[in-house]
């Protein structure tokens, strides 16, 4: 049996997984966006509804995002904190995307992201994402 990874190795693996996911979002590479997600992912997204469940609903949630975003699509991790246990982990991050404006006048949009992961068959897998903006009213 292979040696268990250390806490530092788990943290590094999760950091790399989240960075790869964000890079996949930037290049609109849906198979790579979905690569490390559970079939029953629970998603709290920026726009309504309150909750989405399952990988198909998660995949479909990206269409309105791309419709509102400029191309190339910014989706950049500004800060990321990884808390990794042996078999469960979570990530709290701030990210910057953008809304496409008239005449190429794009507006930066900073949002909050929390990701929950389980290690399933030795592979860190995203089972929960929570994306949000602060409320405006």
Q: Between 91 and 110, how does the x/- string for binding to a second copy read (CB under 8 A)?
A: -x-x---------------x
Whole-angstrom Cα distance, residue 79 to residue 122?
Answer: 26
Residue listed under structure tokens 């040696």: 3
Residues 20-59 touching a second copy, rule: CB under 8 A, are 42, 44-51
**Which residues, in sequence order, are bridge partners of residue 129?**
43, 115
Residue 18 touches a second copy, criterion: CB under 8 A: no
**The only residue of 30, 88, 107, 120 in contact with a second copy, by rule CB under 8 A:** 88
Report yes or no: 71 and 65 within 8 Å, Cβ to Cβ: no
Residue 83 touches a second copy, criterion: CB under 8 A: yes
Residue 125 CB, nearest distance to a second copy (Å)? 11
Report yes or no: 38 and 118 within 8 Å, Cβ to Cβ: yes
């Amino acid at each position: 049996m292979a040696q268990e990874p250390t806490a530092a190795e788990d943290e590094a693996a999760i950091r790399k997984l989240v960075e790869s996911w964000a890079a996949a979002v930037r290049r609109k590479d849906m198979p790579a966006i979905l690569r490390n997600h559970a079939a029953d992912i629970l998603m709290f997204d920026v726009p309504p509804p309150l909750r989405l469940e399952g990988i198909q609903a998660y995949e479909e949630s990206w269409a309105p995002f791309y419709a509102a975003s400029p191309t190339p699509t910014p989706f950049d991790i500004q800060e990321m904190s990884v808390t990794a246990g042996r078999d469960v982990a979570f990530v709290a991050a701030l990210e910057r995307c953008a809304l496409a404006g008239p005449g190429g006048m794009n507006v930066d949009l900073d949002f909050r992201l929390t990701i929950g992961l389980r290690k399933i068959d030795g592979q860190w897998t995203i089972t929960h994402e929570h994306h949000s903006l602060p409320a405006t009213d």
